[in-house]
Homo-oligomer: A and B are copies of this chain.
């Protein structure tokens, strides 16, 4: 199953004035913030809100990020963030993202990789009660 076939969760947002830069477009690091918004909504849709995971002592650390910028977003544009969980094991996971602008044009895409950690930042395995809903959601959305 290719990454594109996996269920995704789509989140809508509007470009904030604060997110633009003097080129008149969205400052590129903000796409990485939007990726995280996509992850948050993905976990909520999968029945595992990320805040609840943290409160239960399972942190998802970011170990790498990649982003390819294809077109520019502008102030007040309506944006959609699509997030998929592209990999999942008891030690960590990966997400793939697409950022769509007005007219569903692809503005950027990318990936993040993650490991699970405890509240002190030590690597840990994710418990079954976290893994199962995420695995189920990956199969059927």
A51-B75, A76-B40 known; A23+B63 contact, CB < 8 A = no
- Closest-by-CB residue of B relative to A68 is B64
**Do the beta carbons of A21 and B20 come within 8 Å of each other?**
yes
**Do the beta carbons of A27 and B17 come within 8 Å of each other?**
yes
Q: Chain B contacts of A17 at CB under 8 A?
A: 21-22, 27, 36, 40, 50
Q: How many copies does the complex hold?
A: 4
Partner of A33, one of B16, B62, B64: B16
Does A59 belong to the interface (CB within 8 Å)?
yes
Residue positions of A touching B, CB distance < 8 A: 14, 16-18, 20-25, 27-30, 32-33, 36-37, 40, 49-51, 54, 59, 61-69, 72, 74-76, 121
The 3 closest A-B pairs by CB, nearest first: A20-B22, A29-B32, A51-B76
Instruction: Enumerate 22 A-B pairs (CB-CB under 8 Å) in ascending A order.
Output: A17-B22, A17-B27, A18-B21, A20-B22, A21-B21, A22-B22, A22-B23, A22-B24, A28-B32, A28-B65, A29-B30, A29-B36, A32-B32, A32-B65, A51-B74, A61-B69, A62-B69, A64-B66, A64-B67, A64-B68, A64-B69, A72-B121
